[in-house]
Structure 1
Amino acid sequence: MVDAISAPIISSVGERYYKVTAEALRVCGELVRVVRPDIEVYDFDFKPYVHPIFAAIMSRLTNQDQDQEVKECAISCMGLVVSTFGDHLGAELPSCLPVLVDRMGNEITRLTAVKAFAVIAASPLHIDLSCVLEHVISELTAFLRKANRALRQATLGTLNTLIVGYGDKIGSAAYEVIVVELSTLISDSDLHMAALALELCCTLMADKRSGPNVGLTVRNKVLPQALTLIRSSLLQGQALLALRNFFTALVYSANTSFDVLLDSLLSAAKPSAQTGAVAKQALFSIAQCVAVLCLSAGDKKCSSTVNMLTDILKADSSTNSAKQHLSLLCLGEIGRRKDLSSHDHIENIVIESFQSPFEEIKSAASYALGNIAVGNLPRYLPFILDKIDNQQKKQYLLLHSLKEVIVRQSVDKAEFDDSSVDKITKLLFNHCESDEEGVRNVVAECLGKIALIEPGKLVPALKERTSSPAAFTRATVVIAVKYSIVERQEKIDEILYPEISTFLMLIQDQDRHVRRAAVLALSTAAHNKPNLIKSLLPELLPLLYDQTVIKKELIRTVDLGPFKHTVDDGLELRKAAFECVDTLLDSCLDQVNPSSFLVPYLLSGLDDHYDVKMPCHLILSKLADKCPSAVLAVLDSLVDPLHKTINFRPKQDAVKQEVDRNEDMIRSALRAIASLNQISGGDCSHKLKNLMNEIGKSKTLSEKYSSIRNE
C-alpha cells in the first residue's frame, strides 16, 4: 500500500502549481509518520523511503523562488523528516540544518523554522545539532526581544526543548543571556507568556551544568519580576503553577537562601506606596508559593515556618490583622500538602481566629482549618464535625471548613470511608432547615460535592428529601443537585439522568425558594449537560415560563414608620427564570418554541424591574438573530416597552448608582432595538420606524446607538 501511494505523493511535491505542492508536502509529513510511527519499534522497513522523501523536500526547501505557503510547508515537513529519520541522514544533515537556520533569519519564515527546530530537538533520536546549535541559540535569544507574540511564544518553547536535550553543549554564558532576555517577559500583561518564561527559567536552573552565575542572574533579574507578578490579582492557572515551580527550583539552587526567599514572599504581601494594599487573590498566590517553598526546603524548615506562623496567630489580632490573615492562608496551603498533626493543638490555634473582629480573618481561618484537615482526615474531620454540632455561633465558618475538605477530596478524586460519609451527610441534612440562607447554601454545596464522590449513596438520599414537608430542605437538596452538575463527565451522570426530573419538577412547588432552586438547577444543567434535560423540556418549559410572570401574592408592603416600602419577593425568581431561558436558547434552541414565549412572557419581562429587563433585552437580541420570523410576527408589541425604557429618566434627587443603572438599562435596550432594526430593515413596523426616527432626533440616544452599532 505504501509503495503504491508514496511515488505519486513524492512526485506531487515537484508540481508547479503551489496549492498542489503545499498539499503534497503536508501529505508527505503524514507519510513520514505512517512509515515510522515509533522510533523504537521496527515493524516496517521504512529505509527505502527515507532518501526519496528527503530529496524531494530538500529541493523545495532550497528553492527561494516559490510561494510562502510552500516555503512554510517545506520547512515544517523537513523538521519532521529530520526528527524521524535523522539516524539515517547522517551525511545529509550538515547541508540541511544550515538551510533551516537560514530560514530562521527570514522574517517571513522564521516562526515556522523555530517550530521546526522544536520538533527536531524533541526527537528521541537526539539528532546531532553541533554544526548549528550555537547559531540557533543566538538567533532564538534575539527573538525574545521581538514584538511578534507568536514568535516569542514559539521561541520560549523551542529554547526549553533545546536546553533539556542539548544543555551539555550550550555554554553557561548563553544561559545568562537567555535569563536576562526572558526576565522582561514575566508580567501580568501576558500571563501565558509569563508562564512559558518561568518554565524556561526552571529548566535552566534544573540543569546541573549551569554555573553559579546563572543562579545569580536569576536572583537579580527574574526574582524581582516574579515578586511583582505574585502581587497581581490576575495571576491564576498555568502562570501560578509556573510561579510555584519557580520558587521550588530556587530552593534547590545551591546559592539561594530559603530564609531570604521566605522573607521576600512574606514582604510581597505588605502594602506598597505605588500599588496600595495587596488584592485578596494575590494573598492566596503568595500563600501557595510559601507552601511549596517550605515543602521543598525539607521538614526542618517547614516545621520552623509553621511554628512562626502559629506564633503570629497567638499574638493580638487587633495589631497584626494583616499578618494573621496571611499566616492562616499559608497554614492552610501547607496543611493541604503536608500532615501537620505533629504540631500540637494547631486546629485549636486556628479555630481561635474565629473570634476575630475581622471578617477576612474568620474566612481565612475557616479556609485554613479545612485544608489542614485534608492533610490528616482521620484526626481532624471528627474534630470539625463535632464543633459544627456544638458551636452554633461558628456553624457557618465550620461548614465552610468542611466544604474545603469535601471540595479537595472531589478535585483529587479521593474517597471518604463509609463511616465518614454517613457522619457528614447526617450532619449536613440536619442543617438543611437552617434559617440562615448562607448556611443552607454551604450545606447544599457540600452535599453536591459529596454526591460527585459517592453518587450511589447521595442521589437516592437527596431524592428522598424532595418530598420533605420542610420547604428549606426541598430547596437545599435541589441546589445540591445543581452543584453536582459540573462540565466534566462524572460517574454521577448515569445515576442522576433517570432521577433528575424528580428534582426539576419542584419548579411547580408551592414555596418560591424551592421553585427558584429548581430554576437554578435547570439553568446549570442546560449550560453544562443539556442532554440531561432535553427530553424533559416539553413538560418543563411551560412551568418555567410561568415563573417569569409577576405574581401579586408575592408583592407586599412593609411599614417603615413615616413611609411604606413595597417588597417584591418574586423578583429573584423571575430574574432566574429569564436567565434560564437565555441559557436554553444557547444550548437547547431546537426544544424552544419562541412564538409561545415572546407573548406574553417576554413582553411582560421587557416592562418589568431593571434586574429582569436586562436579561430580557439579551434574550430578545438572541431571538432576533436565531428566530427572526417569530420576532417579526409580534414586532409592534415589543416596541412599546423598549420605547418606554429608553425614555425613562431617574428622579432629580437620584443617587449616582441609580443614574448609572439607568444608563446601563438604556444601552441594553438600544442593543435590542438595533437587533430588531437589523432584521426588519426598518420597513416591517410602523412603530419601530417611529422609534428609530425618535432616536435619530435625540443627540444623546443617537450617540449611544451609534457607539453600540460600532461595538
Structure 2
Amino acid sequence: MFLQALSSPVLSAVGERYYKVTAEALRVCGELVRVVRPSIEGFGFDFTPYVLPIYNAIMSRLTNQDQDQEVKECAITCMGLVISTFGDNLTAELPSCLPVLVDRMGNEITRLTAVKAFAVIAASPLHIDLSCVLEHVITELTAFLRKANRALRQATLGTLNSLIVAYGDKIGASAYEVIIVELSTLISDSDLHMTALALELCCTLMADKRSSLNVGLAVRNKVLPQALALIKSSLLQGQALVALQSFFAALVYSANTSFDVLLESLLSSAKPSPQSGGVAKQALYSIAQCVAVLCLAAGDQKCSTTVEMLTDILKDDSSTNSAKQHLALLCLGEIGRRKDLSTHAQIETIIIESFQSPFEEIKSAASYALGNIAVGNLSKFLPFILDQIDNQQKKQYLLLHSLKEVIVRQSVDKAEFQESSVETILKLLFNHCESDEEGVRNVVAECLGKIALIEPAKLVPALKVRIASPAAFTRATVVIAVKYSIVERPEKIDEIIYPEISSFLMLIKDQDRHVRRAAVLALSTFAHNKPNLIKGLLPELLPLLYDQTIVKKELIRTVDLGPFKHTVDDGLELRKAAFECVDTLLDSCLDQVNPSSFIVPYLKSGLDDHYDVKMPCHLILSKLADKCPSAVLAVLDSLVDPLQKTINFKPKQDAVKQEVDRNEDMIRSALRAIASLNRIRLAFMSVNGGDCSLKFKSLMSEMSKSPTLWEKYYSIRNE
C-alpha cells in the first residue's frame, strides 16, 4: 500500500518544470522500478498496474528535446532500466521507444548515457527484442570505437560485449569483422584497461559458435600481431594480462587456428631483436603464462608434447642456449602450477640440474619452476624438495626459494598442507634459522611468515618460543617471519598474534643489532598494514625506536685494506630503518607521536648523518612541517645548521659521476624540506607579524645569492 501512495507523487514530480526536481524524480523512479520488480521470477506482488504509468512518465521526458542535459541523461538511464525490467510487458511500446534511445546515441551530449542504457538492456534476463534497432545500434557502437572520448570507447566495448553475448545469432558476420578491425587499434600498453576490454570482446566474438570462419581469420590477421607486440611490454599486468591469456586460449579454439603456429609465435616473441635488444624480465613471465594457458586450452596431448619439448631444451648446453632455457623453465613452472606434471619422468631432476648453470637468471627460473610444479602435485614433489634442501648444501638458497613458491601459492589459494607436511616443513625451516647466509635466513623467514597465514594457531606459539633462543640469527629470523605474516587485508592470524605482538616487538632492545633491525622492520610493517594492533604499545616502543636513530660508536669499526683503511658503520642500516619506521608512523599513528621529543635531538642528529639517513629525515621534516607546524617552528633555529651544511656540500674534484648524482639528489631533498619550513615560517609571519627564526632568514638570504641553489629551490617550491 505504501508503493501506491508513493508512486503517484513521484511520477507527478517527473513532470515538474524545475530541472533539479525532475532529475531527482527520475532517479527515484529508477529505484522505484527496482522495488516494484526486484527479480524476474517475482515474489507474488502484481507489478503490472505500475508499468505503463512509470513508462509514460519517463517517455514524456525522453521525447522532450527542450530540457536540461541532466534531465535528458536521467530520462535515458531510467528508460533503459524500465525496458530491462518490464520489457516483457512493453512489447507494444518497444518499437516506438527503442528508436528514441538510438536517436540519443547520435547526439554527442547524450550518446555516452545512451550507450550505457543499451548495456543495461542487453544484460536483461528478459532477452528484450531489439530486432528493430539492433543493426543500427551495432553500427553506431562500432563507429564509437574510433572516437577520441575514452569514457565513450570504454562504455562501447562493454555494451558491445553484452549485445554479442545476448544477440550474437542476430548479428551478421560482416559486422563482427568490422568490429575486429576497430578493436585491433585499441590494443597497446598505453591504456591497459582499454586493452583488457578490447581483448575480452575479442574472446566473446571467438566464443560465439555461430560466427563465421572469417572471424577467426580476421582475429589472427588483425588482433594477433597486436597481442604479440603487447606481450613484450614490461608494463603488462593485472586484468590486461588475464585478458591476453584468455585471448590465446580462445584463439586456439577458433576455426583453422594452429596450436603449433601460436606456440611458435609466443616463443619467438621472447627472442631479442636488433632494434629493441633483449626482452624485459616481466615480459618473459607474461609469455610463459600465455604459453601455459595456451597448452591447457589445446588439450592433454598438446600439453604433454610441449612439456617434452621444453625439457629437451633444458638438456641442451646452457652456455649456448641460456635465453631459451630461461624461457623454458618459466613455461614449465607456469604449466606445472596449473596442471600435474608428475607423469613426466624425472622432470624435477631435469629442472634441478639447471641450478648448475653459470647464469643467475637460469638458476632463479629453475627455482621458480621447481616450486610451481610442486604446487601441481604436492604429494610427489614437496618431499623431493624438502629432501634436497637437507642434502644439497650449495643449493639450499635456491631450493628454499622453490619451497617459498609452494608456500606462497598455498597462502594465496587459502589451501592447507597435510599435517605431516607442515611438521616436516617447520622442522626444516627452523633448522635453517641460524644459517650464516643472510639470503637463506630471509627466505626461511618469508616461508615461516606465509605458513603463519595458513596455520596461525600453530605458528604463532612456535615463533614466540624461539624469541628466547640464545642464537641471535634465530631471534632475528623469527621477528622477520612475523613481519611477513602481516598483510593489509584482514586475516585470521590478526586475533591470534594480537596478544603476542609485544613479545616480538620488544626485541627492539635486544643486544644484537640484527635482531633490533628486524624488530624495527616488523614495527614498520605493523604501522603500515595494521596500525590498530600496535597503537597501545607505542608509548613504550617509541623511546626504544628513537634510541635506534642515534649513532653508536661501538658499531663503527676500521677495516685495514693494506695501504688503505676503511671505516665501516654497522649501525647505518639500523638507523635508516628506524627513521623510515618513524616516517610510516607519522602517516598511520600521528596521534601517538610526540614530535617535540623527537625533533631534538633525534631528527636533528639524522639531518647531519650519512646520505642514506639524511634522505628519510628530510622527508620526515617536511611531513612534520605540514602536520605539526608549531612543534617545528619552536626548534627551527636548531635545524638550520645541518640543512645548510647539506646544501653547501661539494663533492671532491675526483668524485665519480655516481657520487656527484647522489649529492645532487641529497641537495634537492634538503631543499624540499627547506621549502616546507619556509611555508610555515611565512604563515607564522603573516599571522604574528614577526620572523620566528633569524637563522632561517639568513639561510634563505644566502640561498638567494647563489643562482644555482636558488634556481633549484624555486623549481622545487613550485612542484
TM-score normalised according to structure 2 size: 0.97
* Equivalent residue number for residue 125 of structure 1: 126
Greater shift in the superposed pair: 299-308 or 37-46: 37-46
* Equivalent residue number for residue 505 of structure 2: 504
The alpha-carbon deviation at position 32 of structure 1 amounts to 1.6
Deviations 1:478-526 (A, max 9, x none): 0001111011111111111111111111111111111111111111111
Greater shift in the superposed pair: 522-531 or 391-400: 522-531
AA at the equivalent of 2:692: C
The alpha-carbon deviation at position 465 of structure 1 amounts to 0.3
> Paired residue for 2:709, among 683, 693, 701?
701
Greater shift in the superposed pair: 545-554 or 436-445: 545-554
Distance 1:697 1:99, change over 3 A: farther
In 2: Cα distance, 1:538 partner to 1:45 partner:
64
Are 1:640 and 2:641 matched, yes or no?
yes
In 2: Cα distance, 1:29 partner to 1:167 partner:
28
In 2: Cα distance, 1:5 partner to 1:702 partner:
67
In 1: Cα distance, 2:293 partner to 2:94 partner:
44
Distance 1:62 1:697, change over 3 A: farther
Deviations 1:435-456 (A, max 9, x none): 0000000000000011111111
> Paired residue for 1:691, among 693, 696, 699?
699
In 2: Cα distance, 1:576 partner to 1:8 partner:
64
Identity of aligned residues (%): 87
In 1: Cα distance, 2:464 partner to 2:105 partner:
64
* Equivalent residue number for residue 31 of structure 1: 32
The alpha-carbon deviation at position 691 of structure 1 amounts to 2.2
The alpha-carbon deviation at position 389 of structure 1 amounts to 0.5
The alpha-carbon deviation at position 135 of structure 1 amounts to 1.0
In 1: Cα distance, 2:196 partner to 2:465 partner:
48
Distance 1:346 1:22, change over 3 A: same
Are 1:110 and 2:148 matched, yes or no?
no
Distance 1:16 1:703, change over 3 A: farther
Deviations 1:568-620 (A, max 9, x none): 11111111111111111111111111121111111111111111111111111
AA at the equivalent of 2:26: L
In 2: Cα distance, 1:31 partner to 1:577 partner:
57
Deviations 1:394-447 (A, max 9, x none): 000000010011111111111100100000000000000000000000000000
* Equivalent residue number for residue 447 of structure 2: 446
The alpha-carbon deviation at position 651 of structure 1 amounts to 1.1
Are 1:271 and 2:244 matched, yes or no?
no
Deviations 1:348-403 (A, max 9, x none): 11111011111111111111111111111111111111110011000000000100
Greater shift in the superposed pair: 589-598 or 11-20: 11-20
Aligned ranges 1:378-527 → 2 under 5 Å: 378-527=379-528
Aligned ranges 1:279-290 → 2 under 5 Å: 279-290=280-291
Distance 1:43 1:589, change over 3 A: farther
Aligned ranges 1:146-165 → 2 under 5 Å: 146-165=147-166
The alpha-carbon deviation at position 27 of structure 1 amounts to 1.9
In 2: Cα distance, 1:19 partner to 1:696 partner:
55
AA at the equivalent of 1:145: R
* Equivalent residue number for residue 96 of structure 2: 95
The alpha-carbon deviation at position 662 of structure 1 amounts to 1.2
* Equivalent residue number for residue 167 of structure 1: 168
AA at the equivalent of 2:306: T
* Equivalent residue number for residue 565 of structure 2: 564
In 1: Cα distance, 2:128 partner to 2:490 partner:
41
In 1: Cα distance, 2:527 partner to 2:413 partner:
26
* Equivalent residue number for residue 616 of structure 1: 617
Greater shift in the superposed pair: 24-33 or 527-536: 24-33
In 2: Cα distance, 1:516 partner to 1:134 partner:
67
Q: Partner of 1:564: helix, strand, or coil? A: strand
Q: Partner of 2:559: helix, strand, or coil? A: strand
* Equivalent residue number for residue 242 of structure 2: 241
Aligned ranges 1:205-354 → 2 under 5 Å: 205-354=206-355
The alpha-carbon deviation at position 41 of structure 1 amounts to 2.2
In 2: Cα distance, 1:345 partner to 1:144 partner:
51
The alpha-carbon deviation at position 42 of structure 1 amounts to 2.7
The alpha-carbon deviation at position 129 of structure 1 amounts to 1.1
In 1: Cα distance, 2:703 partner to 2:263 partner:
61
Q: Partner of 1:558: helix, strand, or coil? A: strand
In 1: Cα distance, 2:76 partner to 2:675 partner:
48
In 1: Cα distance, 2:692 partner to 2:463 partner:
52
In 1: Cα distance, 2:204 partner to 2:439 partner:
46
Aligned ranges 1:651-662 → 2 under 5 Å: 651-662=652-663
In 1: Cα distance, 2:367 partner to 2:592 partner:
44
Gapped regions of structure 2 (runs ≥ 5)? 686-690
AA at the equivalent of 1:704: K
Q: Partner of 2:557: helix, strand, or coil? A: strand
Distance 1:288 1:538, change over 3 A: same
Distance 1:55 1:359, change over 3 A: same
In 1: Cα distance, 2:669 partner to 2:67 partner:
52
AA at the equivalent of 1:164: V
The alpha-carbon deviation at position 11 of structure 1 amounts to 2.0
In 1: Cα distance, 2:40 partner to 2:290 partner:
40
Aligned ranges 1:564-603 → 2 under 5 Å: 564-603=565-604
In 2: Cα distance, 1:695 partner to 1:142 partner:
58
The alpha-carbon deviation at position 47 of structure 1 amounts to 2.1
The alpha-carbon deviation at position 475 of structure 1 amounts to 0.4
Gapped regions of structure 1 (runs ≥ 5)? none
In 2: Cα distance, 1:8 partner to 1:701 partner:
69
In 1: Cα distance, 2:205 partner to 2:47 partner:
37
The alpha-carbon deviation at position 556 of structure 1 amounts to 1.0
AA at the equivalent of 1:529: K
The alpha-carbon deviation at position 71 of structure 1 amounts to 1.7
* Equivalent residue number for residue 202 of structure 1: 203
AA at the equivalent of 1:233: S
In 1: Cα distance, 2:692 partner to 2:22 partner:
53
The alpha-carbon deviation at position 653 of structure 1 amounts to 1.1
Greater shift in the superposed pair: 508-517 or 659-668: 659-668
AA at the equivalent of 1:272: S
Greater shift in the superposed pair: 58-67 or 364-373: 58-67
In 1: Cα distance, 2:527 partner to 2:265 partner:
47
In 1: Cα distance, 2:603 partner to 2:502 partner:
25
In 2: Cα distance, 1:529 partner to 1:332 partner:
33
TM-score normalised according to structure 1 size: 0.98
The alpha-carbon deviation at position 119 of structure 1 amounts to 0.9
The alpha-carbon deviation at position 463 of structure 1 amounts to 0.5
The alpha-carbon deviation at position 279 of structure 1 amounts to 0.6
In 1: Cα distance, 2:380 partner to 2:616 partner:
48
The alpha-carbon deviation at position 342 of structure 1 amounts to 0.9
Between the two proteins, the alignment pairs up a number of residues equal to 711
In 2: Cα distance, 1:187 partner to 1:642 partner:
46
AA at the equivalent of 1:647: N
In 2: Cα distance, 1:610 partner to 1:44 partner:
73
In 1: Cα distance, 2:69 partner to 2:320 partner:
67
AA at the equivalent of 2:471: A
* Equivalent residue number for residue 355 of structure 1: 356
In 2: Cα distance, 1:97 partner to 1:246 partner:
33
In 2: Cα distance, 1:56 partner to 1:656 partner:
74
AA at the equivalent of 1:709: R
